[in-house]
Amino acid sequence: MLTALNNDLKPFEDLITKFSREELKPHVEVHDRYPFGDLDVDVIEAGFNKIYDLGFLGIMLPEKYTGIGQGISTLCMMLGHVAEVDASYSLIIFTSALSQEIILSAQADSIAERIYPKAKDAKEYLVAFPSFTDPGQSKTLPEASPSGKGYTLTGKLDYLVLGSFSKWAVIPARISSNRGYSFFLVNLNDRGVTKSEPIFSLGLHACPIIDISLNNVSARIIGEEGEGERYFETASKIMHAAAASINAGIIRGSLREAMDYTKEREQGGRPVINWSEVRMILANMAIKAKVAELCVTQTCRAIEENLKDWGMISIATALHVHDLACEVVTDGVQLLGGNGYMKDYGQEKRYRDARQVQALLGLAPLKKLVLIKEIVG
Amino acid sequence: MLKRSKVKSYTKKFPRFENESLSLYYAPRMPKAMIKETEEAVALARKFNDEVARPLSLELDRKTHEDPDYLPVELVKKANEWGFYTMWIPKLFGGKGFNLPSISYFLEEVGSVCVGIANVIGVHYLGMAACMMLSNTRIIKRVMNDVVEGEKTGEPCLISYCITEPTAGTDVEEVDLEAKGRLGCHARKVPGGYILNGSKIFISNGHFSTWNVVYAYTDLKKGADTKVALMVKRGMKGFSLGTHENKMGQRVCPASVLNFEDCFVPDELVAMDPDIIKSYTKKTPRNVNMQHIDYVFSISRAGVGAFGVGVARGAFETAMKYANETEIDGKPMVTYEWVQCRLAEMYANVRLGRLAYTEANLANQHRGAYNILQMKPIYYYLKYLPVSYFKKVIAPLLDKPIATWILSKWYIDWQKPDDQHLTTGLASLAKFSCTDLGVRNCQMALELMGKAGLRHDSGAEKIIRDAKLLQIYEGTNQLNRINLFKSIVAPACPKATFFEE
């Protein structure tokens, strides 16, 4: 995110940079061991509460719901800086923002009122969401049945981000009488909710993900019946830019570590950085880093200025930046040689995290098909 | 049409047609029994995959994450029980004597399920190759005997190749860099042997191995000219194991730290030093050093190429399984053209990679290290004579200095520079091409599978973690590109210099 193009972001940037450097950096390796290792769940939760106290979990949420009412530029800038140090925390912030965007898209005031102003801590404020799922692509979603004033949900939902931590979740489910799907607010402490052990995934380890089973769980509908796809589309359009900003941050981190290392390490009696092929790889990484930054910055501008086709721009940016990130992090490991493959350095984590980020909001090839469908009409 | 002499004259011009098309020339010369032997190796790998590798792969990987200090000793014992550590030891030295190129196909098979497990088996043969290419028949016999004994007793005896140092990785794989590198493993000549000091890192299987082929230098400032190769056995005074690294992938195969503190290595375990080289050849120690590196890596890089094809296959098969089981908009995923095209490309990557390592193998068979074993009369002689014959008649000869002299002359003086360049160049080509294709297929699999591929239990995420190491070890893919250029392309670029920019 090029903050030079937007001076308003500077105070937030200073805050998030300081937080990432002081609060996240010292613990990256330990947090990455989750769900294994001696890491106390309390330590993770304390981290979540810190980002809650600093207001990072409600960046785009209107002030009337106790958010800080900023735009996508602020969110992307923050996600990028956090990702530069530990992208797991970017996923937490991303998921919080995504569930909020679903609620806002549905204009579900009563739901927002019920959650955010009453929340006492991160557990109550952070709303779990299946951030890697485009529900429209899912063959199996829980079934929703009307029950009294509300609904009950039954069935399975996989890969629910923050499901083991949060009190609330936004869950997509199908009502048998509707063609599409709808979103529901579910209390994850309900007795009918069964949670799996934390899923061991490729990357972003410090952000817990689980599968859940629902058995007649009470739920409140978010917005209208059968309108889930429309809400998701609206929310995901804007959140694609946010996903791109996470990978842009990972790219920056990878480039920085590669530069630092190749200046220090020697090969053939001189610093590795002085060999021309190494410089060529670094140059390619730097070009991709710049392009990624520019894409994210201009996409945010397009969104905030409500430019025609901003939704397509956002998806295109995400697809492109994710591709760039997967290439950069692979080179980033390579430039550190054997050390890059070891957990003592940050590059192997970025190699994993970038690919995990690429899968946010659904299958990448299907996003391409959606994009071309929108373009072609 | 052209006369035969003209045909020969044109095809011998650079790029020499024979060098560019090894399959055409050398496949017909292959002893036919090699094919059956290779089939047997592949079948054995598939059986092992069904019974051992597939059931254990994800479980062992998870265990190493739960406890980073965990070492899967039982896996090594299993491989030992299956006879994998002697399968490619020539019968001359008591092994089962499978033809050496067949190990590539075997490693591809096992690697398609778990390249970490394939490495636990394959890297032992890197140690064997290094030991054999040093040509000291007495030492080879002793070490291989221990491996064969280890199979009989159920206590695996593995060999590691120890060259990487904390401040020298790529430098130890190329003499021009070795001459200027920051080397740290020092060997001091003393009466009766050498005193070894220093550390080696990233040594695959280090915590499992009994024997270690260790490179050290009598003058750390002149590493390329003063290299010594020492055989260090576990338990020798002054040799200790350090930690093993916490790696991203291939976690069942430990990358170990080896420490040497005033470790005395007796003359009988000195496989190579500048004085020994002088007694066999007029070539300089530096040239012999490079030739030895080329011999070893020409073998091992073809093997890493097979690992690369293994992961490419693993990724392809995982993605195909997912596509077969998944529907998009109510239709099977495999009915969509975009899915078919991606799966076709992944399959093509597997086949292209296999062609690359096959060419590297053919170079080794006819112009490199395997040449002596692949000549038809010798191949059949070794294949059909009983082990007892080798034990009674040949084994005693291996202790004689003349045996070492013949093997050293054969390997050092017999090989023409053109052959050395071809074998090392094609091995590098196979190494970087296959491993790049492997990582490429992993990426494609993840893109095709989305969140399903991210879960550990899907297998896909492990493959992409495992695959990345292939682009780094046995020389980074950048070094291998330069080696290919230097070895095969450079004759067309007479002004080119290397490692001097």
CATH code for the domain in which residue A58 is found: 1.10.540.10
pLDDT of residue A1: 66
What is the average per-residue pLDDT within A227-240?
97
Q: Please count the structural domains in chain A.
A: 3
The Cα–Cα gap between B43 and B220 comes to: 47
Instruction: Work out how many domains chain B is built from and give that number.
Output: 2
Residue A343 and residue A241 share a domain: yes
Instruction: Name residues whose C-beta falls within 8 Å of residue B487's C-beta, 6 or more positions apart in sequence.
Output: B420, B421, B422, B424, B425, B428
Chain A contact set for B248 (CB, 8 A): 333, 341-343, 348, 351-352
* Whether A287 and A367 share a structural domain: yes
Instruction: Provide block-wise average pLDDT over 10 residues at a time, chain B (501 residues).
Output: 95 96 94 95 98 98 96 98 98 94 98 98 98 97 98 98 95 92 96 98 98 98 96 98 97 98 98 94 95 96 98 98 95 97 98 98 96 89 89 92 94 92 98 98 98 97 98 97 97 94 83
pLDDT for residue A38: 72
Domain termination residue (choose one: A203, A226, A249): A226
Residue A308 buriedness (CB in 10 A; 0-12 / 13-18 / 19+): exposed
Q: Which residues of B416-429 are buried (b: 16+ CB within 10 A; e: fewer)?
A: eeebbbbbbbbbbb
Residues B215 and B298 in one domain: no
Same domain? For A7 and A102 the reply is yes
Question: Is B7 within the bounds of a domain?
Answer: no
A261 and A371 inside one domain: yes
Q: What is the DSSP letter of B260?
A: E
Interface test with A, best of B66, B257, B346, B451 (most A CBs within 10 A): B451
Q: Which of B170, B246, B443 sits opposite A342 (nearest CB)?
A: B246
Q: How far apart are CA B128 and CA B144, in angstroms?
A: 8
Q: Does one domain contain both A240 and A357?
A: yes
Check whether residue A220 and residue A236 sit in a common domain: no
- CA A220 to CA A151: how far, in whole Å? 6
Which residues lie closer than 8 Å to B68 by C-beta, 6 or more apart? B246
Within a domain: B205: yes
> Which one of B254, B284, B314 terminates a domain?
B284
Query: Domain check: are B331 and B447 in the same one?
Result: yes
Q: At what angle do helices B417-449 and B285-325 cross, to 10 degrees?
A: 20
Beta carbons of A165 and A45 less than 8 angstroms apart: yes
3 state SS for B314-367: HHHHHHHHHHHHCEECCEEHHHCHHHHHHHHHHHHHHHHHHHHHHHHHHHHHHH
Which residues of chain A from 193 to 232 reach within 8 Å of chain B, CB to CB?
Answer: 199-203
pLDDT, mean over chain A = 95
Contacts of B8 (CB under 8 A, 6+ apart): none
If contacts are CB pairs under 8 Å, which of residues 324-353 in chain A contact chain B? Answer: 326, 330, 333-334, 337-338, 340-344, 348, 351-352
B345 vs A: CB within 8 A: no
Say whether both B420 and B356 belong to one domain: yes
Which residues make beta-bridge pairs with A81? none
Taking only the tens place, the pLDDT of each residue in A299-320 is 999 999 999 999 999 999 999 9
Residue after which a domain boundary falls, among A172, A207, A226? A226
Rounded CA-CA distance A176/A174 in Å is: 6
B171, B182, B465 member nearest A352 (Cβ): B465
pLDDT at A36 over 80: yes
A7 touching B (Cβ < 8 Å): no
Do A364 and B169 count as a contact with CB atoms less than 8 A apart? no
B459: left (phi over 0), alpha (psi -120 to 50) or beta: left
pLDDT class of A4 with cuts at 50, 70, 90: low
Do B330 and B445 sit in the same domain of this protein?
yes
d(Cα A261, Cα A255) in Å, to the nearest integer?
A: 10
User: Do B272 and B290 reside in the same domain of the chain?
Assistant: no
Can you give the length of chain A in residues? 377
Q: Are B478 and B355 in a shared domain?
A: yes
| A270 in any annotated domain | yes
| Contact assignment for A326 to B443 by CB distance below 8 Å | yes
Residue B17 is assigned to a structural domain of this protein = no
Q: Average pLDDT in the A108-113 region?
A: 96
- As a whole number of angstroms, the distance between CA A312 and CA A322 comes to 15
Say whether both B249 and B297 belong to one domain: no
Minimal Cα–Cα distance from A119 to chain B, Å? 30
CB A65 within 8 A of CB A116: yes
- Complex ipTM, two decimals? 0.96
| Domain presence at residue A120 | no
Contact A66, A58 (CB under 8 A): yes
Same domain flag for B371 and B305: yes
**Per-residue pLDDT at A2:** 67
d(C-alpha A343, C-alpha A8), whole Å? 37
Longest CA pairwise span in chain A (Å): 77
Q: Does the CB of B446 have a partner CB in chain A at under 8 Å?
A: yes
Residues A221 and A269 placed together within one structural domain of the fold: no
Do residues B376 and B483 share a domain? yes
Pick from B65, B446, B476: which is nearest to A337 by CB? Answer: B476
Whether the ω angle into residue B15 lies within 30 degrees of 0, i.e. cis, is: yes
Q: Please state the φ and ψ torsions of residue B74, each to the nearest 5 degrees.
A: -65, -30
Q: Which residues contact B305 (CB under 8 A, 6 or more apart)?
A: B104, B353, B356, B357, B360, B427, B430, B431, B433, B434, B435
pTM summary value = 0.97
- In what helix (H) or strand (E) does residue A251 lie, and over which residues does it extend? helix A228-264
Task: Kindly list the residues from chain A whose CB atom is less than 8 angstroms away from the CB atom of residue B323.
Answer: none
Say if A121 falls within a structural domain.
no
- Domain boundary, last residue among B251, B284, B317: B284
Cα-based distances in Å from A78 to A72, A107, A292, B1, B416: 10, 25, 15, 73, 61
Question: Under an 8 A CB cutoff, do B202 and A338 touch?
Answer: yes
Domain that holds residue A200: 127-226
In a shared domain, residues A79 and A198: no
Domain boundary among B284, B311, B331: B284
pLDDT value, residue A5:
62
Instruction: Output the domain CATH number for residue B241.
Output: 2.40.110.10
Residues B342, B471 within the same domain: yes
CB A132 to CB B450 under 8 A? yes
Spatial CB neighbours of B193, under 8 Å, sequence gap ≥ 6: B264, B265, B266, B267, B269, B270
Quick one: which of A161, A169, A206 has its CA closest to A190?
A: A169
Do B156 and B125 meet the contact criterion of CB atoms below 8 Å apart? no
Interface test with B, best of A36, A229, A267 (most B CBs within 10 A): A267
**A135-169 per-position pLDDT tens digit:** 998 888 999 999 988 999 999 999 999 999 999 99
Residues A134 and A214 in one domain: yes
Residue of A138, A341, A373 to mutate, testing the B interface (most B Cβ within 10 Å of its Cβ): A341
Choose the mutation target among A28, A157, A202, A366 for the interface with B, i.e. most B CBs under 10 Å.
A202
For residues B45 and B124, membership in a common domain is answered with yes
Burial B184-203 (b: 16+ CB within 10 A, else e): bbbbeeeeebbbbbbbbbbb
The answer to whether A32 and A200 have CB atoms below 8 angstroms apart is no
Please state, in angstroms and rounded to a whole number, the distance separating the CA atoms of residues A178 and B208.
61
CB A192 within 8 A of CB A216: yes
Distance CA A202, CA B422 (A): 40
Asked if the structure places residue A368 within a domain, the reply is yes
H or E element in which residue B435 lies = helix B417-449
* B41: CB partners within 8 A, 6+ apart: B87, B98, B102, B103, B105, B106
User: Residues A21-45: what's their mean pLDDT?
Assistant: 85
Q: Are residues B298 and B274 in the same domain?
A: no
- C-beta neighbour count of B366 within 10 angstroms: 20
Residue A53 and residue A13 in one domain: yes
CB atoms within 10 A of CB A140: 10
CA distance B255 to B204: 5
Domain, as residue range, for B206: 159-284
CB B107 within 8 A of CB B306: yes
Residue A214 and residue A286 in one domain: no
Taking alpha carbons only, the member of A82, A78, A47, A75 closest to residue A59 is A75
